[in-house]
Structures are given as C-alpha cells and as structure tokens.
Structure 1
Amino acid sequence: NFYKNEFNRKEMYLRYIYKLHDLHLAAENYTEAGFTMKLYADQLSWDANVLPADHAHQQQPEWQRKELLYHQIIHYFDRGKCWEKGIPLCKELAVLYESRIYDYAKLSHILKMQAKFLDNILTQLRPEPEYFRVGFYGLSFPLFVR
C-alpha cells in the first residue's frame, strides 16, 4: 500500500496489482484474483474523467473502466464460489444501470446474476474458507512489515 498513496508511484502500484492478479489466476485462486482487482477498482470513481490506456485496457472514461473491472471481479467471485462478495458489486452496478445510464438490459442481466448468487449461497455446497494471519514481531523485521 505504500505505492498507492504516493502520486508518482500509482503506475508502479497498478503494475504490481496486475502481476499479483496474474499469479492468482495461474494458481486458479479466483477469489484472490477478484480481491486483487478490487484494489484497483476501489481507486476509481463513477466520474467521466478519461483514463489513459494501460497494458490491459484502452483509453476510456473512468466509470467504464470501473464497470469493466466490476464485471471481471464478479466473474472471479463466481468461479471462486465466493458469491457473498459479489452481491454488493452487483447492487452497485444495478444502481449505475438504473439511475445513471438507464441501461435496462444491463440492469436485467446484473439482477439475474445477483439472484443466481443468492440461489447458489442457499443450494451449493462448498468448503469452508481457511485464512491465516502472518505477523512479524520483533525489532529484527523492517518497520513496514511489523
């Protein structure tokens, strides 16, 4: 996160996000790939500011890139069976489609996706997720990892 907050290092931060995303995809860790791309999407707004092209996207308005990233993240959460995390993104896209760009075909699609996620939560069996917290204690570790 130390690259994210510095103005001159945002491109470097974005490169690391894409590298981490690619590593997760190679390992078929779809939920983690979704969370990684969400780090980028959270930095974007729904404004019409034009973003420059990067290695994965063409030049486009900020809201379109965020919309594209949200669909990608929702797809990863679906593949990773982490439907609970996809529902808030579906809701946010539904508000965009219903009250801002008035695209009712996209609204219908995203609401069907949200309904599918809710059905999957109720009916699909899936393993319990396991999480581990790693802590670095002591003066021998650098300050930024303690």
Structure 2
Amino acid sequence: MLSSEKIMVCVYHGPNGERLIRRGGRLAALYQCPLFVLHVQTEQENNQISQDKSERILHWKTISEECHATFMTKTRGNHKVSDVIADTAEQIQITQLIIGHPGMTRWQEIWNGSIVNELLKKIGEIDIHIIAFQEGRDR
C-alpha cells in the first residue's frame, strides 16, 4: 500500500450496491489503498432477513472480494445509520467515504432529514463521494 488513504463504501438494500462497491474498488486501486464495504442493518433485518436481501448481501460480499475489500455488516440498534457510519469511519480511520445519492425529494429531506447532512456534521475531515444513480442500472 503506497497511500495513506482508506476508503469505505456504504451499501444498503437498494439496487445500486454493486455499482458503489466497484466505484470504490476503482478508487482504491488508483490510490493503492485499503477498501472497506459497510452494510448497516436494523435489528429486525438481522433476525429476519428475506431471501432477496440475503442474496443481495452475498452478491455484495462476492463483489467486495473481487475488489479486495473488507466487507462488514453492522446492526444499528437504536442508533441512526449516520452514527454507525461515522463511528465505523472513525474506528478504522477512513479518509474517503462513498455513498449513494439517497434519492429523496426535497420535502422528504426537510421532513426526515438528510443522511448526507448528518454525515457532514459528524465526520469532519473525511471526503464524501455521493454517487448518482439511474433507475434499474445494476444489481
């Protein structure tokens, strides 16, 4: 490893996890640095995961291995997803974070809050890459 960079990709049960992981893999190869993939789930998802979600997570693990990434699943408990992401990033000293565009309307952001804004407040010096999506693009 030649770089002091560390990249973490965050994936959720949407259809674009593979794209995010591969984007992180390309950046990690460019920087010659470690890559981590974080999946945050609820307690309920931890106890009762559907066949579809289970297959998607297995697929992400396979893609992560192809990209030489460390795949992690964390259960959020009573914490916000942004707290789990920020805590994990701090623990492993991440320098760059890759997330998918949340796809919320402006009204949803106002009403529910924006995970991007929450992360910006919590992670300090970490660069955030927000990846835009097209519907149905990949698995």
Which interval holds the TM-score relative to the shorter structure? under 0.3
The structure whose Rg is larger is 1
Larger strand percent: 2
Q: TM-score, normalised by structure 2?
A: 0.27
Q: TM-score, normalised by structure 1?
A: 0.26
Larger helix percent: 1
